[in-house]
Amino acid sequence: MLLADPSDVLADELFYATVEECEDCRTVLLDCAAQDARAVKKLVDWALWITSEVHGGLPDVLVDQDAPKDSFSPSVTFRRLAQGYRTGQTNSAQHNVRGPEQRREVADDAVTLVAGLDRYGADFLYW
């Protein structure tokens, strides 16, 4: 019997809860993600890979601390991870996110980014 990886299931459920705008579901799933560093890493890698595919690389708005605040504005931690992804450092200690609060914040940024790209396309980053 082949069973799904729980981290994959969590990422899928969180994405669909976000797309379907189920805030109660999303809150519960983000709380679960905050306890699962592996799921958060997968979410971040997934979001950054998708963004790279859509934009032909990571746009500066995801890595630049001085990016305009009128666009999608991820957390400082997410921007640090995006910078690491851009330079190929996704498996380094830099990719580690400390504590459940940071993991929850980064998971929220990742799923918001993917859902926004799904709904609005490449323009999502600049709204």
Q: Quote the pLDDT of residue 94.
A: 47
Q: Quote the pLDDT of residue 92.
A: 52
**Worst-scoring range by mean pLDDT, 28-42, 92-106, 107-121?**
92-106
Q: Quote the pLDDT of residue 88.
A: 83
Q: Structure pTM?
A: 0.85
- Please tell me the distance from the alpha carbon of residue 64 to that of residue 37, in angstroms, as a whole number: 24
Report the SS3 class of residue 64: coil
Burial 21-48 (b: 16+ CB within 10 A, else e): eeeeebeebbebbbebbebbbbbbbbbb
Question: How far is the CA of 126 from the CAs of 25, 34, 79, in angstroms?
Answer: 27, 27, 16
pLDDT tens digits along 65-79? 777 666 788 999 999
If one compares 120 and 31, the residue with the highest pLDDT of the two is: 31
- Please tell me the distance from the alpha carbon of residue 124 to that of residue 75, in angstroms, as a whole number: 16
61, amino acid identity: V
The domain ranges of the chain are: 6-126
CB contact at 8 A, 43 and 14: yes
Could you tell me the end-to-end alpha-carbon distance of the chain, in angstroms, rounded to an integer? 45
pLDDT tens digits along 17-48? 988 889 999 999 999 989 988 889 889 999 99
